[in-house]
Amino acid sequence: MKTLLLATNKGMQKHVGEEFDDIHEVPAIITLDEMQGQANLIRNKIRYLASLDIKDNLDPIINVTVETTPFFDVILVSLSDMMKKEEKIEIILPERYNKNR
């Protein structure tokens, strides 16, 4: 299992000293036009981390720590569902994302 920190600059400050396999800083506010670009960047980070698990003969499981604004909620839930179905990559999101699924 690999770990990814997805956070705004302010959110990153909450995790100083913690270790993650990868980190992606996102803007606090994004426009609708920027959502697809951010989704693609996040998807590529997840794919890269999954490839490391696969290389080590492990099931691709990515544990994502999220410290973002609500703009990213839809992106993360959509990516989690889509990547599990289409690419067999398990994405573990914080518990708050599972309440409405």
Residue 79: what pLDDT? 95
Express each pLDDT in 68-83 by its tens digit. 988 898 899 999 999 9
Of 48, 34, 59, whose CA–CA distance to 4 is shortest? 48
Can you tell me the distance from the alpha carbon of 33 to that of 19, in angstroms, rounded to the nearest whole number?
32
Strand locations in the chain (E): 2-7, 22-25, 61-67, 90-92
What pTM did the predictor assign?
0.90
Express each pLDDT in 11-63 by its tens digit. 999 999 999 999 999 999 999 889 999 999 999 999 999 999 999 999 999 99
Cα 9 to Cα 4, 50, 69, 70, 86, distances in angstroms: 15, 25, 11, 15, 31
